[in-house]
Amino acid sequence: MARDSESVRTPQGVTPSGIDVLDRAAAILFAFRHDDEPLTLTELSERTGLYKSTLSRLAQALCHHNFLIRLNDGRYWIGSAALHLSAIYETGFDLRNILLPAMKELSAQTGEAVSFHVRERDHRVCLYRIASRHSVRAEVRQGDVQPLERGAGGRVLLAFSAEPGAPYDEIRTRYVYLSLGERDPETAGISVPVFRVGQELVGALGIVGPAARMGIEEMERYRPRLLQVAAHVTAALGGNAAPLLAAASTDAMPHITAAGRKTRAKHQSKKKPSESSRKAQEKEHA
């Protein structure tokens, strides 16, 4: 028997798994958004790319299992089975179990300390940390309370808490912040946001180290991996990881404060004297 051409249409909004019927059902469920009203079959067809006849059959099956409900006017909405599964997920959810393995792997890859900060009123608190393997390290202790307005973690928390201003607009665009000497003259850090369901901010994931070892080039090298880890954690928490992954693939330089640029110059001068200063030193010792 010839296959119905509509049965092989690829749904929109999902990554194919190879199990077509599950991909189509997932496309229907994920077609609903937080700010939606119930959707008609036509609206579902536009969002999923599926034919109405295919949608009607799958919607009937999803209604049977309470993943969808069909209203009296023919529109569809998410059913009670989704709430049931959400409750099960939340009872077994532990931020620590998701974050710490990712943080340990990131620290092993970079050799630097990895921290996770959350906002507590007008300050930030280090909720979790993984120590650097280096003997010379930037000390970040679990439970440390630090200001929001200085340092990479604080800036990220402010930016994604709707803080106004051009620097925060840039952080919201790039999903990352680099800081050199902003909180401490000898410390550098790079941070990115982590989200949960509804893109609610959970905290700021960051890498921190001595500015003498962790300059702009090093932080820029860590940036894609840090964003990828944040995307992984965000997805595990039910958030949308796509913006973080998109930011990881860009080559744009993140925002650096003027204080950071001054500190960078200071440390670069310590590491490698300019040609003119080197000649002057040679003349003095001649």
Domain CATH code at residue 33: 1.10.10.10
How much is the pLDDT for 118?
93
Between 234 and 148, the higher pLDDT residue: 234
**244 shares a domain with 115:** yes
Is residue 83 domain-shared with residue 107, that is, in the same domain?
A: no
Considering the domain boundaries, does residue 281 fall inside one?
A: no
On whether both 169 and 71 belong to a single domain, the answer is: no
Identify the pLDDT of residue 86: 77
Q: Which residues, 6+ apart, have CB-to-CB distance to 221 below 8 Å? A: none
How confident is the model over 238-251, as pLDDT tens digits?
899 999 999 999 87
pTM summary value: 0.63
Strand order in the sheet with 177-180: 145-147, 123-130, 113-120, 200-210, 187-196, 177-180, 255-256
Q: What is the mean pLDDT of residues 229-256?
A: 85
Residue 221 lies in a domain: yes
Q: Say if residue 47 is in the same domain as residue 119.
A: no
Q: What is the pLDDT of residues 172-181, one digit of tens each?
A: 999 999 988 7
**In angstroms, rounded to a whole number, what is the distance separating the alpha carbons of residues 175 and 275?**
37
Residue 279 lies in a domain: no
Please compute the mean of the pLDDT values over residues 208-234 and round it to a whole number. Answer: 92
Q: Are residues 73 and 104 in the same domain?
A: no
| Arithmetic mean of pLDDT, 240-264 | 68
% of the chain at pLDDT higher than 70: 80
Beta strands 68-70 and 76-78, pairing class? antiparallel
